[in-house]
Structure formats: structure tokens, C-alpha cells
Structure 1
Amino acid sequence: MLEAFVLPAISLGLSAVLLPGPLQAYLISNTLAYRWKQSIIAAFSPLVVDIPIIILLVFLLGSLPDAAIALIRIGGGLFLLWLAWSGWQSWRNGIYLGQSAEDTTLAEAPSRRAIFSKALLINALSPGPYLFWSTITGPLLVEALNQSLVHGLSLLVAFYGTFISGLMLLVMLFDRLGGINPRVSRLLMLFTLGLMAYFGLRFTVEGVAELVTLL
């Protein structure tokens, strides 16, 4: 079980953390702006979003139609572009990135619920989880469940234990970086906003192109 399911799940969890994506960009940008206490809750968003995705893809459909994936990609891209634009407006208005909690007023910092809700939307509208579970982790989970329920649960615990821990570590790392030098954190914030805009534009263009080919 260890070699067949647990170790691959840990490996996939590490890959999910280290590969740049919209959730990572969102986590980093919020951490640099509002520090780790406000942002770390967003690291748990995959636990909420992925449950229905796993049920839908692994146990019911196996995969979504190409048109559905394309529409999800377009919706996720537009949402990411909106987030990047909102972040850019805040950046231009002089929000002090990496400021201490004492310097951040309640009006400036969004609530943890708002940050978590946006993270949920990013996950739900991104094609990544759907493609990931329908093509990579899903078949492995089905194989594990065919062995036993314990095998399947072990795979899920190994994957999400690694993935969520890695996201939390990412938040703590960039929180420390943001506290070193305000100029550095401001540049990092601008970079992550650019990253979100890139993924937003990429998802939108790819989704439209895929829809055109399906017509």
C-alpha cells in the first residue's frame, strides 16, 4: 500500500504545491498584503471544493465533457482577471504590503471569511482540480478503492496532508519575506498579481479556443 498508493499521493501533493497556479498566486498575494493570520485559512479551501469534484468525477462521471471543461476554464479565467484587477487597484491606492497587523485597519483588510470565499471560487472555477482528478489522481483513487476503503482513505490522507501542509508552509514563507523589506514585498505582490492575470488570460483564451474547435 505504501509504495502503490501513499508514496505516489505524497509526490502528487508536493507537485500540486510547487507547480505555479492561481490558488498559489492568490495565497501569496494575500499573505504579502495582510500577513499569515488573515490568509492561512485559504490553504484549506481545496478540502471543501474537491469533495464534490471527487464524487462527481471519480464515482459518477469519470470525466466532464470537453465543452464543460472549456466553460469552466473561461469562467475561471475571467474571475482571475477580475481578482488581478482588484488587487492592482488596491496596490495603486497604496496598501502597504507586508505591514504589521497594528498598521492594517479593519477597513483595509478583508475578513477571513471573504478571503476563504474567494479561495473557494478560485478552486471551483479553475479547470485544474477537474482535470487533475479526472486524469491523474482519480484513476489512482479508483484503483486504491478497488483494493479496500482503507487504501482509498490512505491515499486521500497522504495527498491532502501533503498538499495542505505545503500550502500552509508557502503562506508562512512569504509572510516572513513580506516582513523583511516593504519594497521587496511590494514587488513580490506585483509579481503575484501579474501571475494571476497571466493565468486568467491563459484560461480564458484556452477555453474560448477549445469551444471554437468543438463547434
Structure 2
Amino acid sequence: MLDFLTAGLVLGLSAGFSPGPLLMLVISETLHHGTRSGVRVALSPVVTDLPIVLATLLLLVKVSGYHGVLGGVSLAGGLFVLATGWDSIRTRPVQLDLPKEQPKSLRKGVLTNFLSPHPYLFWITVGAPLLTKSLNVGWTAFFAFVLSFYLSLIGAKIILAVAVGRSKAFLSGRLYLYTMRFLGGLLVLFALLLFKEGLVLLGLI
């Protein structure tokens, strides 16, 4: 269970702190309409991810006996995590020169996250395979991964909303950059584990 808890924390924090459309919307809402608006946007993955998770989980359950398919998915997940980790290591200060916009709601955050390719790529290549493995261990492992992932994902974005609400310089400071680079290093290690698992499933090692 500890492995799934750790995986959820690392993946969730990395996704929560990484620059992207949803994070930019969180920042924009915070700067223009206050911290509460940014927090509401940060909660949108709870709404948008459920159908994605269920669809990908159902698909993987159906192909669970095909080791070649699962091996390919694991290698694809390794590539996705490796690219995400490399981007995190190369993180630069986030520019906050954002245009003035009309107030947005949770619905706007849901739309932004739903139209972004990142949740689909993550759950198809990484998230759903981890969920199927956790189910083989037990429901405790399953909920450990899901809860740790979403608590860290949403928590990270809420922390950023509060930090940006207090100081616009936070995203250009050293603490944010060092955090992203540390998480990037952990993601690279996690990617190597996925590569190893994929090669084992394919019978190459």
C-alpha cells in the first residue's frame, strides 16, 4: 500500500505544481478575482476526471490478460512520465503577465481541464494501470493511490492560489523552482520503474 500512496503523492504534486492550462487559469482567477476563485478552479479535476478514470480502467480490465498490450502501455507511461519529469527539471519562472478577463466559475475550470489532453494521457498510460495493479493488492491500496493523488493534486493548486494571492513573485522564486526540479527527479526515477515493468511484461528482461 505504501508504494501506491507514494506514487499518488509524487504524481499528484507534480501535476498540481506543473505549469499548464489549468494552473494558468487558477493563477488568472486568483489575480483577478481573489483566492477563492482560484481555489474553485483548482477543484475542477474532481468533476472532470471521473469519466476518464472509469473508461480507461474498464478498458484495461478487459485487456488485463494480454501482457504485450500492458507492456506497451507501461512503456508509453514511462515515456510520458519521463517527459513530464524532464519538463519539471527544466522549469523556468512562470510569467504572470495575464490579460484581464471576465470572472470565471468552477464550470470554466471544468471545461479547461476536460479539453486539455494531459488528463487523458496520464490516465491512459499511467493512472489507470496503477489503479488496476492496486485492485490486485486490495481496496486499501486502491483508495490510498486515489486519495493521495487527488489530495496532493488539488492541494498543490490551492497552495499556489493562496501563495499567488499573497505574493505575485512566488512563482518566480527559488522555492517553487527547486520544488519542481526535485519532483522532476522523482518522476524520472518513477519512469525508469515503468520502463522496467514494461520490458518484463514484454518478456525482454
TM-score bin (small chain): 0.5 to 0.7
Does the CA contact (< 8 Å) of 1:39 and 1:115 recur in 2?
Answer: no
Q: Which amino acid aligns with 1:48?
A: V
Matched, 1:134 2:133: no
Measured against aligned partners, the alpha-carbon deviations of 1:140-189 in whole angstroms (never above 9, x if no partner) come to: 111001211221111100111111111110100000015xxxxx79xxxx
Instruction: Report the alpha carbon displacement of residue 29 of structure 1 after superposing the two structures with TM.
Output: 0.9
* 1:122 corresponds to 2:112: yes
Q: Which amino acid in the other structure matches residue 24 of structure 1?
A: L
Going from structure 1 to structure 2, the CA distance change for 1:18 and 1:38 (only over 3 Å counts) comes to closer
1:23–1:122: 8 Å Cα contact kept in structure 2? yes
State the distance in 2 between where 1:161 and 1:38 align: 18
Gaps of at least 5 residues in structure 2 are 64-97, 171-205
Q: Give identity over the alignment, percent.
A: 36
1:144 is aligned, of 134, 143, 150, to 134
- Give distance in 1, aligned partners of 2:60 and 2:7: 23
| Alignment RMSD | 2.2
Equivalent in 134, 145, 148 of residue 158 of structure 1? 148
Cross-structure match for 2:52: 53
Q: Distance in 1 between matches of 2:43 and 2:138?
A: 27
Map Cα deviations across residues 28-83 of structure 1 (whole Å, 9 max, x no partner).
011011111222111110011111110011223689xxxxxxxxxxxxxxxxxxxx
Q: Residues of 2 paired with 1:139 and 1:37: CA distance?
A: 34
TM normalised by structure 2 equals 0.61
List structure 1 segments (4+ residues) > 2 angstroms apart after TM superposition: 60-63
Whose radius of gyration is greater, 1 or 2? 1
**TM (normalized to structure 1)?**
0.58
Q: CA deviation at 1:18?
A: 2.1
Structure 1 stretches of 5 or more lacking a match? 64-86, 92-108, 179-183, 186-215
Equivalent pairs, count: 135
**Take 1:49 and 1:165, find their aligned partners in 2: how far apart are those partners?**
17
